[in-house]
Amino acid sequence: MTKRALIVDDSRSARVILSRMLEGYGLQVDSSESAEHALEFLRQTRPDVIFMDHLMPGMDGFQAIQAIKGNPDTAMIPVVMYTSQEGELYVSQARALGAVGVLPKTVKQVDVSRVLYQLRLLPERREARAAAAPFTVQETAAIRSQSPPVAIGEIEAAVRAATAPILKEHNMEMRRFVLASLEAFARRIGTEMKPAAAPPAPEPIEAPPPPPPPSRWPLVAAIAAVALLPTFVLAVIHTRTLDTMSELAQSNTRLAGFAEEQQLQLAALRQAVQGREVQLATAATARTAEPADIEAEPVPYGEAPLSGARLERLRDMITQLKAGGFRGKVRIATYVGEFCLVGNGIEGYSIAADDLPASRCDLRGNPYDDGLSAAQRQSLPFANLVASLRQDRNGPLSVEVEHEGRKPAVPYPRGDQLAKVTAGDWNRIAAQNNRVEFAAQPAGS
């Protein structure tokens, strides 16, 4: 009987991702965009498991669990929290309300399968392995790129273990057939050679000469053919087994070569990225000797550029410059990095998982920063600090704020390199380009 699952989440992309994972295990999936709609759905349908988001408009996930567990008709349905919240305190609160577990919002397929096995919504793992379909060449190549090559001896042992029971059973059947054939021949020969009952003795007459005995060679040839038949069948099976093992060995060699080639290409790409980082570090070291020292501060995706750690860096810089008697201008420039994102323009975008290929990102850009105005890029404390410096016209320091846009310090992979990097590799480069630079320019320079 098909198991059913209910997903309760106000994010459409989150519902689609989790639905595909569950449908891959043969579950029938229903979804709801709010807790109120889910409670209305449960009045008519009883799913086998519920995946519940925490933060939703209206009734949140904890309130929905209390309503589900408070209803005797739905109290026995297992509920799994499916949320971006984390920490031991949150897990304890969820379990105290009746949740059987907590899954992260960036859920992986292994987490989903573990929960389904624990809830007994999937068959035993041994049955699943026996019924699993063989891998395609592409899937085998992907697996070989992540695991060491399989030894030929292991393949031979596996083939022998798989064919030994079949050969043994076939050999026994052939022996039974040979024994039955020999017994039938023996009965036939015995019947033909049994003497007939002697009639009353007639008057003696001269008997004709006896006929020559029948030839036994056809019988011997038939018995030899039947005895050699199992040997011929076993020879054919053995030959096919050797051919199969040879094909598997060749396939294993090709996969090992492909995996080695991919590893070499990845190592070359990483070496190129590291070389670029060394060049940037060398350039930064060279700039420290120039009159205008430049200090860069990264901006995490989704944060206002001129806030948080960037504000603290400006305060420390101003304090150090005043203590050293510096007179001149502090130039602040903001730069935008292009991140590998998943989502859409309606429900929003988020950072892609590290193992996702960079070529499969829904968007490579920075829609968050693109939607900010000049005033929104500055937090209120940052704007107040800059305004206080500008009001003191006779002071030793002045501040200049500029938005430079997309001027990457580290180049992004392009062309053939793009197909070989993951979203994690891309976003580490984007994190270096999404930055704020502070430069102290002495007066008269």
Residue type present at position 69:
K
Arithmetic mean of pLDDT, 267-292: 67
Give the span between the Cα atoms of 430 and 397, in whole angstroms: 32
Q: pLDDT band at 76, cuts 50/70/90?
A: very high
pLDDT, residue 132, reads: 42
Higher per-residue confidence, 35 vs 148: 35
pLDDT, residue 211, reads: 60
Higher per-residue confidence, 308 vs 178: 308
Q: CB of 11 within 8 A of CB of 347?
A: yes
* Mean pLDDT value across the chain: 80
pLDDT, residue 232, reads: 82
Residue 292 has pLDDT above 90, yes or no: no
Q: pLDDT band at 146, cuts 50/70/90?
A: very low
Q: What is the pLDDT of residues 77-134, one digit of tens each?
A: 999 988 877 778 888 888 888 889 888 878 888 888 888 988 888 875 544 444 444 4
Question: Which residue do the tokens 């700039």 mark?
Answer: 287
Q: pLDDT band at 289, cuts 50/70/90?
A: very low
Q: Tell me if residue 348 falls in helix, strand or coil.
A: strand
Q: Which two tokens stand for residue 14?
A: 């989150």
Highest averaged pLDDT of the listed ranges 36-40, 342-346, 358-362, 371-375: 36-40
Q: CB of 52 within 8 A of CB of 80?
A: yes
Angle at 207 between CA 203 and CA 212, to 5 degrees: 155
Arithmetic mean of pLDDT, 369-392: 83
Q: pLDDT band at 394, cuts 50/70/90?
A: confident
Arithmetic mean of pLDDT, 174-191: 70
Arithmetic mean of pLDDT, 222-240: 83
Q: Tell me if residue 388 falls in helix, strand or coil.
A: helix
**Intra-chain end-to-end CA distance of the chain, in Å:** 79
Q: pLDDT band at 143, cuts 50/70/90?
A: very low
- Residue 123: how many CB atoms within 10 A of its CB? 14
Residue 27 has pLDDT above 80, yes or no: yes
Query: SS3 string of 24-64?
Result: CCCCEEEEECCHHHHHHHHCCCCCCEEEECCCCCCCCHHHH
Give the span between the Cα atoms of 378 and 311, in whole angstroms: 9
Q: What is the pLDDT of residues 45-62, one digit of tens each?
A: 999 999 999 889 999 989
Higher per-residue confidence, 290 vs 21: 21
pLDDT, residue 279, reads: 74
pLDDT, residue 86, reads: 72
Q: Which two tokens stand for residue 83?
A: 């949320």
Residue type present at position 413:
P
pLDDT, residue 417, reads: 84
E runs forming strands in 146-278: none
DSSP percent split of the chain into helix, strand, coil, nearest 5: 50, 15, 30
